[in-house]
């Protein structure tokens, strides 16, 4: 809560900035890709489709970027006090999660006014949010520990996130990719972020949304993005715990 409050301390709009940023990006992308290029002309409720992708991606980007610098940013505290180091990373992820919750309020307001009829399957949405949080937290742990030793990680992660934004179906509809190359579409949806965003659109917006189960009947392949999240949690926890012994000397 302290991290979240300090982030907007002294600003005129305060907490409203957590809503303004995704909405401005949403407006720009909707204008360019929705109204000018008409990429989403075949997608039911494309503005909502786009907004969900942006909100979920923004949380992922904020949680991982905050986590990456969390240990180094609290170097003075780590050198003076003996406490569980993981709490610093978790605090940053919770701060980002509060922003996500505020943004999701806007998403559901848009859903209500756009005439989208919520189906019972929408009750699965919190499970997808939990999967997203665990994925972001796992990467935050790994990046935080890695950044203590290798300061170039921040630039490498920035480049990776730029590429990953366009590799993830946030702007473009997966149906277009399927018509071009079904194998590429399948590979894209094996990415946990792509799977989470598409599944969220499926349960909240339209059953016409392309999900991984539409492209393969192999259920081991269908659940593989979820399995990757749990593998990431295990590896990140192990690496963070192993590296945390040297944090005080290296930060």
Q: Has residue 248 got a pLDDT over 80?
A: no
Q: Which residues contact 47 (CB under 8 A, 6 or more apart)?
A: 26, 30, 34, 40, 110, 114
**Which of 18-27, 41-50, 79-88 is predicted least confidently?**
18-27
Give the pLDDT mean for 173-191. Answer: 92
* 3-state SS, one letter per residue, for 20-87: HHHHHHHHHHHHHHHHHCCCCCCCCCHHHHHHHHHHHHHHHHHHHHHHHHHHHHCHHHHHHCCCCCHH
Residue 6 reports pLDDT greater than 70? no
CA–CA separation, 207 and 139 (whole Å): 30
Given a contact cutoff of 8 angstroms between Cβ atoms, the answer to whether 38 and 72 are in contact is no
**In whole angstroms, what is the distance from residue 56 CA to residue 165 CA?**
11
Q: Can you tell me the distance from the alpha carbon of 101 to that of 203, in angstroms, rounded to the nearest whole number?
A: 18
Q: For residue range 56-95, what is the model confidence (pLDDT) as tens digits?
A: 999 999 999 999 998 888 777 887 777 788 899 999 899 8
Spatial contact of 210 and 198, defined as CB atoms under 8 Å apart: yes
Contacts of 195 (CB under 8 A, 6+ apart): 189, 211, 212, 225, 226
Average pLDDT, the chain: 88
Could you tell me what percent of the chain has a pLDDT over 90?
Answer: 54
Look at residues 77, 100, 102, 98 and name the one whose alpha carbon lies nearest to residue 88.
77
Segments making up each domain of the chain, as ranges: 2-250
pLDDT band at 41 (very low <50, low <70, confident <90, very high): confident
Mean pLDDT of 181-189: 94
Does residue 247 register a pLDDT over 60?
yes
* Residue written as token pair 């994925």: 135
Please report the pLDDT score of residue 8 as a whole number: 62
**pLDDT over threshold 90, residue 141:** yes
Q: Which residue's structure tokens are 């996130």?
A: 161
**Residue 189: predicted pLDDT:** 95
């Amino acid at each position: 809560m302290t991290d979240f409050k300090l982030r907007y301390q002294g600003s005129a709009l305060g907490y409203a900035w957590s809503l303004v940023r995704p909405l401005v990006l949403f407006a720009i992308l909707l204008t360019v890709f929705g109204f000018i290029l008409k990429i989403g002309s075949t997608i039911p409720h494309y503005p909502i489709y786009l907004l969900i992708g942006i909100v979920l991606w923004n949380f992922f980007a904020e949680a991982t970027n905050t986590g990456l610098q969390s240990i180094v940013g609290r170097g003075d505290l780590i050198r003076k006090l003996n406490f569980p180091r993981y709490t610093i990373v978790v605090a940053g992820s919770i701060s980002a999660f509060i922003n996500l919750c505020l943004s999701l309020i806007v998403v559901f307001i848009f859903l209500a006014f756009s005439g989208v009829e919520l189906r019972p399957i929408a009750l699965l949405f919190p499970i997808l949010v939990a999967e997203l949080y665990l994925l972001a937290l796992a990467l935050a742990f790994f990046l935080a520990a890695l950044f203590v030793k290798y300061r170039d990680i921040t630039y490498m992660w920035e480049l990776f996130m730029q590429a990953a934004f366009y590799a993830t179906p946030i702007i473009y509809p997966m149906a277009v990719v399927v018509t071009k190359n079904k194998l590429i579409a399948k590979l894209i949806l094996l990415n946990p972020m792509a799977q989470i965003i598409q599944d969220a659109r499926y349960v909240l917006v339209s059953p016409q949304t392309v999900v991984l189960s539409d492209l393969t009947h192999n259920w081991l392949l269908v659940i593989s993005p979820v399995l990757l999240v749990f593998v990431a949690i295990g590896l990140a926890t192990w690496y963070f715990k192993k590296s945390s012994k040297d944090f005080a000397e290296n930060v």
